[in-house]
Amino acid sequence: MKKLAQLKELFNKDVTDTLKKHKIPLVGGLVVFLLACVGIFITYAYYQVTDVTPIIGGSTGKIADLDVRVMAEERDTNGNGLGSYALYPYIPEAGYAYNEGKSYCTNGSTINYNPATYEADITAYGHDVCYLYFDSTANLDLTLNVYAQNIDSDGNGIEGEYTKLETTALPSIGYVLNTEKSSCENGSSLSYSDEENMFTVDATGKDVCTAYMDAIDVDIQLKLYIQAKAGSSTYYEADTIPSNVYYELGSESACTGTSTLSIQNQKVVIAATSRTSCVAYLNVADGPIIQSMQLSANTVTLNDSNAGTNPTTYYYSADAGANYVSSSDNTYTFENVDPNGTEFKAYAVDASGNTSSILTTTTEDNYVFNGIYDYSSGVQTVPIEVSGYYYLQVWGAQGGSYNEEIAPGGNGGYSKGYIYLNAGDTLYINTGGKGGYGTSNSSTATSGGGVNGGGSAGYRGGAGGGATDIRINQNDLYSRVIVAGGGGGSFYQSSSIYALGGAGGGATGVAGEHYNSSYAYYSGKGGTQTAGGSGGTAEEKAYYGNAGVFGIGGNTGTRYQSTSIYSNGAGGGGWYGGGAAGHYNGETNNRYAGGGGGSGYVYTESTASSYPNGCLLNDSYYLTNASTHAGNTAFESTTGGTETGHAGNGYAKITYIGQTLS
């Protein structure tokens, strides 16, 4: 299908001019119509010259000095009369009615008009000029209904979905005539020229024709705004909809004009009645997510993601989505289908009718894998079924805080890289938990460290956030191939007395902040590539913060004040954990500090030497195009936008790339 050129402006001229311009003869009653293209409900009359020599009948028709002028009401492009008249070259046969009261001859000749034969018999008694007036009736002989294919948010036409176009605002590009679907009720022939950007209707009488136009490059503007996370008021602009989250269309979504929006198979669908501009707000919701699709001969196998709802029905297609068959089974085998050159598609539907995105495979690209791993307190195991390159992404967890709004814990970091994995390998995903905090003013209040290495703290001290990492073939700290560090915990006393935890991630985690610069040494330091972050130092009547170690953030000491246990921020987990802040054992309130963030790590040829003795990996698992980022810098968010540091629990993604990196 060749792409349409820019559509021309809608004709604003009478069809007569069009016929004359293109010099199309009227032969044997066959009328050829050139109509303006896509985007409107188009109706125009056709015209026929019954006698191009004298149009005057009767015995006096040969009088040389009789001048007859046909005056036709001017019309707009919809066929509506404008009340003004212009000279016409012949008597119109359709779309007009003779106006006897308005017609006249200047010297009193008599006009006898026969509407059955479209002839005027004028009885003249000498030289005369006669005017025959015809009013537009908008009762046109040819009706053309145009239906334009709906498109999704990727600009692709949706099979079988069309919207009738009834406005005069035209899309400028983007449609081609579907000759198989288009037809005329009374047998007229309908065609379309993309070069002329016009329809041609061969008609021998009145007819109603319907044209279906398939979208190929539609002139519709769409902006996508993706919710950062469930319940958030923050949205970011995106070019595509992320595949690892299920979305529903927000109530603020809208289009200009009468076009409408909906969401189907995780694509925004636009029912366009004209050229339009749309804005779609997509909110995080619950629905089915397909994690993988594998093709073996004619058998398609799907696997659901733990992050989505449970599907009740699966839909499979062996003709690129033109037709689907349904099944309650996640595996389907097509009979009598040659898989070579065939495009297989599939999606899932849950009990509420929510539809997943559509996955596609072919014999050349026979495997799709989009593994997403939200926070879990336990390890998540991923068996590798297909050898090839995979893209690994991990986000560390945020440190804890006694007051999230005023003194949030340090944000987690981010790491990414590509790796070649073999079928039979097993990945172990450990997602970091957000650091906790003590909730009551008592001598026993403590805050547990976040899952996967976050250090613990006491009352008013935030615990460290856990790291997120991926391990290969063994669930062991010494088999980690990629790590995103967790943030350090904060301390909060009041709206004016607090100290923030340091961000996790990057080659070196960020040190915790301090309330009083005179006591900066109380802060916990960030983990590095070869050692844990040092704990905050102190003087007499104080407790040293514990240093971080390999994979684990430091715990804080405590100070006693009346019956309460006070604590500063703990260290975040990471490649090496961050150090915890030190604590003063007394009544003074000026030695408050945050814990340090844990470091991030990517296993590459240049960083392998950072592994302590006991590494369980070999050089076949080196990452390429890998990097680690601290949680005080901007990087990709879990939903595809950009965030500065990762808040909340940790997260991981694994995406199959293919047999080669390109």
pLDDT tier at 542 (50, 70, 90 boundaries)? low
CA dist 386 → 140, 304, 380, 436, 475 (Å): 64, 17, 18, 39, 21
Flag whether pLDDT at 33 surpasses 60: no
- Asked if 245 contacts 639 with a C-beta cutoff of 8 angstroms, the reply is yes
- Asked if 46 contacts 203 with a C-beta cutoff of 8 angstroms, the reply is yes
> What is the pLDDT, as a whole number, of residue 207?
80
- Cα separation, 302 vs 590, in Å, equals 59
* Assigned token pair, 406: 């005023």
| Comparison of pLDDT for 92 and 486, the residue scoring more | 486
3 state DSSP class of 487: coil
| Alpha carbon 360 to chain centroid, angstroms | 17
> What is the pLDDT, as a whole number, of residue 26?
24
Q: What is the DSSP string of 319-354?
A: STTSS-EEESSSEEE-SS---TT--EEEEEEETT--
Task: Let me know the angle formed at the C-alpha of 507 by 501 and 509, rounded to the nearest 5 degrees.
Answer: 10
> What is the pLDDT, as a whole number, of residue 357?
93
What mean pLDDT is predicted for residues 179-190? 88
Q: Report CA dihedral (96, 98, 101, 104) to the nearest 10 degrees.
A: 120
> What is the pLDDT, as a whole number, of residue 219?
64
Q: Provide CB contacts within 8 A for 317, sequence distance 6+.
A: 323, 324, 325, 344, 345, 346
The pairing of strands 128-136 and 96-98 is antiparallel
Per-residue pLDDT tens for 409-430?
999 999 999 999 999 999 999 9
Evaluated on CA atoms 170, 176, 177, 181, the torsion sign reads negative
Per-residue pLDDT tens for 55-83?
333 333 344 477 888 898 887 655 577 88
- Most confidently predicted of 16-20, 421-425, 640-644: 421-425
Per-residue pLDDT tens for 356-372?
999 999 988 899 999 99
Percent above pLDDT 90 for the chain: 48
pLDDT tier at 34 (50, 70, 90 boundaries)? very low
pLDDT tier at 257 (50, 70, 90 boundaries)? confident
- Most confidently predicted of 88-92, 163-167, 197-201, 640-644: 640-644
pLDDT tier at 177 (50, 70, 90 boundaries)? confident
Task: Let me know the angle formed at the C-alpha of 266 by 250 and 270, rounded to the nearest 5 degrees.
Answer: 70
pLDDT tier at 1 (50, 70, 90 boundaries)? very low
From the list 661, 2, 639, the residue with the least C-alpha distance to 289 is 639
Residue 62 region, left (φ>0) first, then alpha (ψ -120 to 50), else beta? Answer: alpha
Which pTM does this prediction carry?
0.69
> What is the pLDDT, as a whole number, of residue 188?
85
Where are the extended beta strands (E) located within 51-141? Answer: 56-57, 66-75, 81-88, 96-98, 104-105, 110-114, 119-123, 128-136
> What is the pLDDT, as a whole number, of residue 603?
98
Per-residue pLDDT tens for 190-238?
887 766 666 777 776 678 888 888 887 666 778 899 998 888 888 888 8
> What is the pLDDT, as a whole number, of residue 11?
26
| Alpha carbon 437 to chain centroid, angstroms | 38
Count other C-beta atoms under 10 Å from residue 259's C-beta.
20
- Cα separation, 416 vs 397, in Å, equals 15
| Comparison of pLDDT for 217 and 377, the residue scoring more | 377
Per-residue pLDDT tens for 468-519?
999 999 999 999 999 999 999 999 888 888 999 999 999 999 999 999 888 8
What mean pLDDT is predicted for residues 580-603? 84
pLDDT tier at 39 (50, 70, 90 boundaries)? very low
| Comparison of pLDDT for 119 and 312, the residue scoring more | 312
- Asked if 90 contacts 150 with a C-beta cutoff of 8 angstroms, the reply is no
